[in-house]
Structure 1
Amino acid sequence: MNKTVLITGTSSGFGASAANYFAAQDWNVIATMRDTGKTTSLSNSGNIFITKLDVEDETSIRNAVKAGIDRFGKIDVLVNNAGYGLFGVFESVSAEAVKNQFAVNLFGAMDITRAILPHFRENNSGVVINVSSGAGAIGFPMASVYSASKFALEGWSEALRYELASLGIRVKVIEPGGAPQTGFLNRVGGESTGLSMIDDYLPFLEQTGKMFHAMAETSDADAVEKVVAAIYEAATDATGRLRYAPTTDIQPILNARRSTSEEAYQKFTDNIFTQNKR
């Protein structure tokens, strides 16, 4: 029997591309999204089943998992992809906006995973793939709340990995760098509600904006393909590997974070992110 993957956030970006890729590899795909009217990015493959799933609605989550099992009989892989970026200096972000960021990026993934784990335990197998970000390993200016949600996602994933290993269930984390082709940055303005402008930060915002623009210029042109390939590898390689960082644009900072001293890392990132070069 063909294997089955449930992917959240498939209306666009990594989610849509991953759904199409898995379907092309003869997988059954449960393509979920908050608004099932936004399916134009999905192929017309007969093995893609589209169903509603709002990561902030537990009833919607349970219904989507049940509908997928009813359609295909079994789910082998869960890809927690749904998420968005909240960008702005922390002082300007409302408490409500912070809670919304965590509700989607962290609590939604937790709730979906909790809903599907009984099915995985029943089958003594399964893979949970959490799509994080380079910002889940590195704190970026203007992204403190987004980074916090992704840091939490990665910490939870790492701990969960130990809990589930004895049950034959693997946990994986994908850490993309910048991927402007997904439209992720275009959505930021619409999602970043609850922000106020504080004039004292304007010089910092101008400098940081130039830095992000320069980083966007060096983003991998084929980032989406690399990330989708990494998701598929994580689903199929049958290893205990936890983290996959498929794009080259984020590698220098990840390497500095994980392979150098704290002092060396801070000096390296200060030269990138701050006006006061060390």
Structure 2
Amino acid sequence: MTTKKTVIVTGASQGIGAGLVNAFIERGYNVVATSRQVSTSNAFQASDKLALVDGDIGDAETAALVARTAIDRFGSIDGLVNNAGIFLAKPFVDFTMDDFKKLSSTNLEGFIHLTQLVVRQMLTQKTGGSVVSITTPLTDHPIAGFSASVSMMTKGGINAISKNLAMEYANQGIRFNIVAPGVVDTPLHKDNPKDFLKTLSPMAGISNVEEIADAVVFLTEAPRVTGEVLHVDGGAHLGRW
């Protein structure tokens, strides 16, 4: 497949983000990849369709630079994947306001800064577009003994705003969807025993990055799908097993 469309991927230096960058390049997309030190990553295939932007997506200046790079380098913004996110797990009473500010900066402010710029550009282009955000099944299906309530407040907020935006911009052809991965084989879980991780879904396995990328690409290219949460979690969201 070849395309002249341009997609932005946040949190792109490793793991799911890097896999997304490579998946889109392989499908012929122009890609603007961003994270704090994305220019030092060796996870990407070489391509003249790839632009790298270092910066904290929680800063409005970074979001502006990312959007400007997409337009100046490739001429349009047709898709956005809000993959950047941080996660903290601790009892609710141990969360601090500093924890909340860190979570909100990346998970919420980062979403707002860049998504606003992307939607404005899509409205100007008048050709529709896609915004896919990465959250987690834990927002609606918590696990006993695993406390991450404040983190889930920010991720659950992304689920909520995405459904609202799907309705707000449906007439303009701008679609908003969610991919909610379960356990994925990324550096995030490098210190966790794999035998334990495999017990966290009824299908008893660990997803790979390519499986998550496939789901994101599907939603990016599905012209009649909006407001959906696509779980890629081996059935973990179904409940107790």
Structure 2 match to 1:246:
232
Compared CA separation, residues 62 and 232, structure 1 to 2 (3 A): same
Find the partner of 1:97 among 96, 99, 103.
99
SS in 2 for 1:55: coil
Find the partner of 2:186 among 171, 182, 188.
182
> Kindly, what percent of the aligned residue pairs are identical?
25
CA shift at 1:46, angstroms?
2.2
Structure 1 match to 2:129:
126
Structure 2 match to 1:136:
139
Cα separation, 2, equivalents of 1:71 and 1:173: 27
SS in 2 for 1:166: helix
Structure 2 match to 1:226:
211
CA contact 1:32–1:52 (8 Å) conserved in 2: yes
Tell me the amino acid that sits aligned with residue 232 of structure 2: P
Structure 2 match to 1:72:
74
**Alignment of structure 1 residues 16-95 onto 2, 5 Å:** 16-95=18-97
Does 2:159 match 1:154? yes
Cα separation, 1, equivalents of 2:164 and 2:80: 17
CA shift at 1:160, angstroms?
1.2
CA contact 2:9–2:81 (8 Å) conserved in 1: yes
CA contact 1:136–1:175 (8 Å) conserved in 2: no
Between 1:117-126 and 1:216-225, the stretch displaced more is: 216-225
Aligned residues: 233
CA shift at 1:112, angstroms?
0.8
Tell me the amino acid that sits aligned with residue 165 of structure 1: A
Compared CA separation, residues 133 and 33, structure 1 to 2 (3 A): same
- In the alignment, structure 2 segments of 5+ residues that lack a partner are none
Cα separation, 2, equivalents of 1:104 and 1:12: 16
Cα separation, 2, equivalents of 1:113 and 1:219: 35
Compared CA separation, residues 219 and 45, structure 1 to 2 (3 A): farther
SS in 2 for 1:232: helix
Q: By percentage of residues, which structure has more helix?
A: 1
Does 2:168 match 1:163? yes
CA contact 1:9–1:33 (8 Å) conserved in 2: yes
Cα separation, 2, equivalents of 1:187 and 1:80: 25
Compared CA separation, residues 59 and 74, structure 1 to 2 (3 A): same
Instruction: State the TM-score, normalized to the length of structure 1.
Output: 0.77
Q: Give a deviation string over 1:76-135, Cα, whole Å, max 9, x none.
A: 000000012101111122111122112211221121101211101012211111111112
CA contact 1:223–1:247 (8 Å) conserved in 2: no
Cα separation, 1, equivalents of 2:197 and 2:213: 24
CA shift at 1:136, angstroms?
2.5
Compared CA separation, residues 217 and 40, structure 1 to 2 (3 A): farther
CA shift at 1:164, angstroms?
1.0
Cα separation, 1, equivalents of 2:17 and 2:191: 15
Q: Whose radius of gyration is greater, 1 or 2? A: 1
Cα separation, 1, equivalents of 2:19 and 2:204: 18
Structure 2 match to 1:172:
177
- In the alignment, structure 1 segments of 5+ residues that lack a partner are 189-209, 257-267, 273-278
Instruction: State the TM-score, normalized to the length of structure 2.
Output: 0.88
Tell me the amino acid that sits aligned with residue 91 of structure 1: V
CA contact 2:197–2:206 (8 Å) conserved in 1: no
CA shift at 1:217, angstroms?
11
Q: Give a deviation string over 1:159-199, Cα, whole Å, max 9, x none.
A: 111111111100010010011x21124599xxxxxxxxxxx
Compared CA separation, residues 213 and 172, structure 1 to 2 (3 A): closer
Structure 2 match to 1:261:
none
